[in-house]
Structure 1
Amino acid sequence: EEAYISKEQKYSFLRNPQTSFCFSESIPTPSNREETQQKSNLELLRISLLLIQSWLEPVQFLRSVFTNKLVYGASNFNVYLYLTNLEEGIQTLMWRLDDGSPRTGQIFKQTYSKFDTNSHNDDTLLKNYWLLYCFRKDMNKVETFLRTVQCRTVEGSCGF
């Protein structure tokens, strides 16, 4: 990454208010630990599901942009497959916690037309870097919410 985007460029891009919006910010999520603790397990699972579903299409786009395995990942691990498996697992947990009736939340679809597959100029690389930044940020939220649910439901599993 450093070979393509200098630290100065990367951090100035992240601080730019015009570009610092991840689409998933339109999904209402707890913003701190106290708010997270106030949500029920079912609410945290629903939020996690929405975040995961919002990334199903963009991760396929990312894969096409970052065909270089050193940039995208060192393995053949398929992030899309991982997300769909996680989606299915969360839906199962929601079904068990709820009344047993399957529910699907509103799926947030985002058009990532502002992210360009032509990665030959610095602006395009920065925009695609921003997409990766948003993905990491959202997956950190999902991890936090799922750990909170696990901590509440599985005795002896609280490790944070």
Structure 2
Amino acid sequence: MWFSSGMQRAVWAVLLWPYLLTLCIPLVCKEEQGSLTRCPSISQEKLLDRVIQHAELIYRVSEESCSLFQEMFVPFPMRLQRNQAGYACITKELPIPSSKSEIQQMSDKWLLHSVLMLVRSWIEPLVYLQTTLDLYDDASEVLLNKTKWVSEKLLSLEQGVMVLIKKMLDEGMLPTTYSEQGLLHNDGQPEMLESVMRDYTLLSCFKKDAHKMETFLKLLKCRQTDIYNCA
């Protein structure tokens, strides 16, 4: 029954996918040499709006991918056991507040750099996820396309946030990569259930962090317009 429900979701995803793609506006301006500029042709306000739109779409598609993977591959009892089986999120050790009160106290600078840390921490793990999903016999094209799309758009979001940091904070670019914290590359052939749960954890954790990115950017936007009413 859960497989049938997953297939129904996949059909709807195929129908809605073209519409979703049309919503995603390119984020960055580049010189001919490929280096990022201050994007003089776009205002800071409009750039922030586009970055937020990108983050919203990434979160939405990550949520769909996680639900689709869960319905297709994860038996219901295992969904309840995930948090008790030692599957930790790879960004758990990043110095990013999680409580509402702590987030409210974050400076604009820390909000932006936290988004950038999260984005960069997920670039390589999502590429790695692509290689593991290709090994699933029953992985639908919809699921593969969604995870690939998110992986590509995360790179675009990284570039957009970097430009935003330079515009808003007048800072130079940070180093281009962060190390993967807690991601284990297993060269052997793990048991199928272990592999499924690892990938399910990866998708679930990314969905959670994508929501953080969206929340931080929206808080930043709120502060630009109504600093006293951003609770």
TM-score, normalized by length of structure 1? Answer: 0.81
Aligned residues of 2:166 and 2:172 also touching (Cα < 8 A) = yes
- Rounded to whole Å, the distance in 1 between the matches of 2:78 and 2:206 is 19
**CA shift at 1:28, angstroms?**
1.1
Match of 1:94 among 129, 148, 165: 165
Aligned residues of 2:116 and 2:162 also touching (Cα < 8 A) = yes
- Rounded to whole Å, the distance in 2 between the matches of 1:90 and 1:8 is 39
Question: CA RMSD, aligned part only?
Answer: 3.0
Pairs aligned (count):
156
Q: Report what 1:122 is aligned to.
A: 193
| Bigger RCO (CA 8 Å, 6+ sep) | 2
- Rounded to whole Å, the distance in 1 between the matches of 2:125 and 2:200 is 13
Considering only CA atoms, is the larger Rg found in Structure 1 or Structure 2? 2
Aligned residues of 1:115 and 1:124 also touching (Cα < 8 A) = no
Indicate how the Cα distance of structure 1 residues 61 and 115 shifts in structure 2: closer, same or farther if over 3 A, else same: same
Aligned residues of 2:118 and 2:209 also touching (Cα < 8 A) = yes
**CA shift at 1:101, angstroms?**
3.1
- Rounded to whole Å, the distance in 2 between the matches of 1:117 and 1:52 is 28
Aligned residues of 2:116 and 2:161 also touching (Cα < 8 A) = yes
**CA shift at 1:14, angstroms?**
2.0
Secondary structure of 1:127's counterpart equals: helix
Q: Report Cα offsets for 1:87-129 as digits up to 9, x if no partner.
A: 111111111222x231316843216335679687112111111
Indicate how the Cα distance of structure 1 residues 75 and 30 shifts in structure 2: closer, same or farther if over 3 A, else same: closer
Q: How does 1:50-69 map to 2 (within 5 A)?
A: 50-67=117-134, 68-69=139-140
Q: How does 1:137-148 map to 2 (within 5 A)?
A: 137-148=208-219
Aligned residues of 2:112 and 2:216 also touching (Cα < 8 A) = yes
Match of 1:6 among 56, 75, 89: 75
Match of 2:143 among 65, 72, 85: 72
Aligned residues of 1:52 and 1:83 also touching (Cα < 8 A) = yes
Instruction: Specify every segment of 5 or more residues in structure 1 that has no aligned partner in the other structure, as ranges.
Output: none
Instruction: Specify every segment of 5 or more residues in structure 2 that has no aligned partner in the other structure, as ranges.
Output: 1-69
- Rounded to whole Å, the distance in 2 between the matches of 1:71 and 1:132 is 15
**CA shift at 1:80, angstroms?**
2.2
Indicate how the Cα distance of structure 1 residues 75 and 37 shifts in structure 2: closer, same or farther if over 3 A, else same: closer
